[in-house]
Amino acid sequence: MQISAACSFLFLIQWWVDRGLVARKKGSFPDNQTFLVLACTLSLILCSLLSTTLFGIVYLNLGMIPAYIGILYGTVRSGILLSIFFLVCNIIIAEPTGISNMILNSGILLYPLLFGLAKPFKKGTVVEKIGMLWMVLCPNMLFIALVPIIGGKNIYEAHSSESLLITLYLFCTIALGGVFVYFVEMVWSSWRAKVHMESISDNFQWESEKLQQITNVVPLSIISLDDHGVVTDLNDCMLGMARIHYPNLRREDIIGKPVREFFNGSADADAYMRVRNNIQHKRRSHERMIHGTRIYQIYSAPLMHKNSGLTSGVVLIAQDITDEVKLRSELDHVERLSLVGQMAAGITHEIRNPMAVVRGFLQLMREKSSDDLDSYYQIVLEELDRANSIINDFLSLAQSRISDKEKVLLHRVIEEVSPLLWADANLRGQSVELKLNASIHELELNVREIKQLILNLGRNGMEAMGSKGILTLETHSTQDKVELIVRDRGIGMSESQREKLFSPFFTTKREGTGLGLSLCLSIVERHNGKITVDSVEGEGTVFTISFPLVKEEYSEAILAD
C-alpha cells in the first residue's frame, strides 16, 4: 500500500501528460513544475496516512520519496513549503514519537543538502539525478534504521527475519526512488519529443501552405503528377488555364485523374506523345503543343528525392504562348512589309521624274495639236495627275520622320481648309457644318498634315453621302486632350469593312486609291493621337481623332479651368 501511495504521483503526471493538459506557454497555471509538486504532496499525504511501523520500531513511510523528488524538481519556494508540509505530517502522524525519532525519521538534517542539490539536479542527466536523490535518500534510510538502536532496542541480530525485512525495506525504498526519478524523466522526455514533433509538423504544414500560396501567385501554370501520370496537385493559374478548354472544371475533378484525359482534345498528337514520353522517362524537356485554338509551351521536369537521388513524379509547367506566337508572326510580316514599303517608296520617287517629263511634253504636244485631240490630252493629263497624287499619298504614308510642328489652334487649321471643303461640298450639292468649341487649347501640330487629314476625312464623308448631305466638323476639349470629330450621314460601313479600313489600298470605290485613311492613321500617330470610328450602316459614320495635350499644355489647361 505504501508503494502504491508513493507512486500515485506518477499516475497523476502520466494522466496530466496524456490529457494534453501540459503547460505549453509560460505563465499558465498550474505549470508543469507546480503540478509535479502538487502531485508529490498528494502522494506524501497518502503515504503519511498509511504510515506504520515495522515491528513497532522502524518507521514505515515512503512519503519521503515523493517529498524529496518534489523538492528537487520544484522551485526553492515550493520546496520549502513541501518540506514544512512533510514535517507537519511527521509530527502529526509519526510513530514512534519523540523529538529525536522525528528528526531522524523526517531526515530534517539532510534538508540543507537537499536544497543544495536542487539546482544541479535540474541540469543533470537521468543517472546524475538518480545519484543525487540517492545522496539524500541513503543517509535518511540509515537514520531510520538507526532509530531503534538509539531507542536501545537492537533488533538487528544476525539472520533474524526482522533484520532481513528491515534491510529489504531500506533497499526497496532506495531502488524505488531511482525508479521514480527515471519514470518522471521518461514521461517528461516523451512529452518533449511529442511537442517537438508537433512543432515540426506545424512548421512543415506552414511551409507547404506557403509554397502553395507562392505557386498560386506566380503567373505560371504548374501541375504535379505522380509516377503513373496521375495529377497530385495544381495551382490556380493552371486551373484557370484548364477552364479555358473545360469550363466549370473544379480542382477536385482534376486531382487524382490521369493527366492524359486533359490532353485528349489536343489536335497535336505528336506533341502529346512526346510530352507523354518525357513524363514516362522523367526527362527534362520543353515541347510546343496546340490545344484547341491555343498554343502552349510545356516544360516537364522530374521531381527528385535529394538524398536518395530517386525520382518521384513530375512537374509540368505550361505557358500560353498564343499571343507571343501571333505577335512574332505579325512582326515578321511587318518587317517584310516595311522592307517592301521602303523599296516601293524608292521606286515611286524615281517614277515621278520621268512622269514630270512626260507631262511636260504632253502639254507641249497638246498646244501644238489640233483642237479635236484636246479631250484626249485632257484625259491623259488627268490620269497622269491622278497617278501623281497616288504617288504623293503613298510617299507621305511611307514618311515616318518627325514632322515639323508648331503651336497652333486647331480651329485655325479647320478655318483654312473649310473653303476647300465647301467648294467640294457645293459641287455635290452638300453642305458643311462647323461646331467649334470656343475654349480650345493650342496644340503642337504639323499644319500641312492636319489639313490633309481633315480633307481626306471630309472627302470620304462627302463621298459616302448623297446630295443634300451634311458634313459636320466638331471640336471638343477636355482636361487632357482635344478631339476633332468628322461626322457624316452617309451609307456607313459594315463590320468587315471597318476591320480593313486602315489597311493600305483597301477601297470600295471604283476610282479610290485606298491610301487616304492609311495616311490619316500615320498622321495621327505622328501626333501621338488616336483615331476611332463609329459607323452604322445606312445612318452614317463618325471619325474621332483625339490629340493629347503635352504636359505643359495640360497644366495650362488645368490652370485655365
Catalog residues that contact Mg ion under the rule CB under 5 A. 460, 516
SS3 assignment, position 369: coil
The window from 186-194, 226-234, 467-475, 489-497 that contacts ligand ADP (CB under 6 A) reads: 489-497
Cβ at position 459, least distance to ligand ADP in Å? 7
User: What is Dmax (Cα atoms) for the chain?
Assistant: 172
Torsion of CA 100, 104, 108, 112, to 10 degrees: 120
C-alpha cell of residue 278: 518525357
Chain centroid to CA 51: 70
- Residue 501's beta-bridge partner residues? none
Q: Does 509 bind ligand ADP (CB under 6 A)?
A: yes
Instruction: Name the closest residue to Mg ion (Cβ).
Output: 516
Q: Torsion over CA of 391, 397, 399 and 400, rounded to 10 degrees?
A: -170
Task: Output DSSP code: residue 301.
Answer: E
Q: What does the block give as the cell for 159?
A: 539472520
Contact call for residue 546 and ligand ADP (CB under 6 A): no
Could you tell me the smallest distance in angstroms from the CB atom of residue 521 to Mg ion? 12
| Residue 458 within binding range of ligand ADP, rule CB under 6 A | no
Q: Pick the binder of ligand ADP from 231, 516, 521, 553 (CB under 6 A).
A: 516
The residue from 460, 475, 522, 546 that contacts ligand ADP (CB under 6 A) is 460
Q: Which of 28, 508, 528, 555 binds ligand ADP (CB under 6 A)?
A: 508
- Cβ distance 545 to 531 under 8 Å? yes
Find cell 505557358 and name the residue.
319
Q: Please enumerate in sequence order all residues whose Cβ is within 8 A of that of 509, keeping only pairs 6 or more positions apart, or say none.
A: 463
Whose Cβ is closer to ligand ADP: residue 463's or residue 480's?
463
Could you give the CA distance from residue 240 to residue 203 in angstroms, rounded to a whole number? Answer: 30
> Cβ closer to Mg ion: 261 or 525?
525
Q: Is 59:51 a contact under the CB 8 Å cutoff? A: yes
252/511 with CB nearer ligand ADP: 511
Which residue's C-alpha cell is 463609329? Answer: 534
Q: Compute the distance between CA of residue 532 and CA of residue 544 in angstroms, rounded to an integer.
A: 5
The size of the interface with ligand ADP (CB under 6 A), counted in residues, is: 22
Q: Rule CB under 6 A: say whether 517 interacts with ligand ADP.
A: yes
Residue (66 or 490) nearer to ligand ADP, CB:
490
Name the minimum Å distance from CB 293 to Mg ion. 35
For residues 96 and 514, which CB has a smaller minimum distance to ligand ADP in the complex?
A: 514
Q: Is 2 in the site for ligand ADP (CB under 6 A)?
A: no
Q: Does 469 bind ligand ADP (CB under 6 A)?
A: no
Which of residues 280 and 508 has its CB atom nearest to ligand ADP in the complex?
A: 508
User: Amino acid identity of 201?
Assistant: S
Give the angle subtended at the CA of 200 by the CAs of 194 and 201, to the nearest 5°.
Answer: 90
Q: Which does 148 bind (CB under 5 to 8 A by kind): ligand ADP, Mg ion, none?
A: none
Which does residue 63 bind out of Mg ion, ligand ADP, none, counting CB within 5 to 8 angstroms by kind? none
CB of 498 to ligand ADP, least distance (A): 9
DSSP character for 402? P
Give the residues across from 289 on adjacent strands: 296
For the chain, state the CA radius of gyration: 51
- Does residue 41 interact with ligand ADP by CB under 6 A? no
Amino acid symbol at 256: G
How do beta strands 431-435 and 443-445 pair? unpaired
Q: Among residue numbers 397 through 456, which ones bind ligand ADP (CB under 6 A)?
A: 456
Minimum separation from the CB atom of position 481 to ligand ADP (A): 22
Residues that bind ligand ADP (CB under 6 A): 456, 460-461, 464, 488, 490-493, 497, 501, 506-509, 512-517, 541
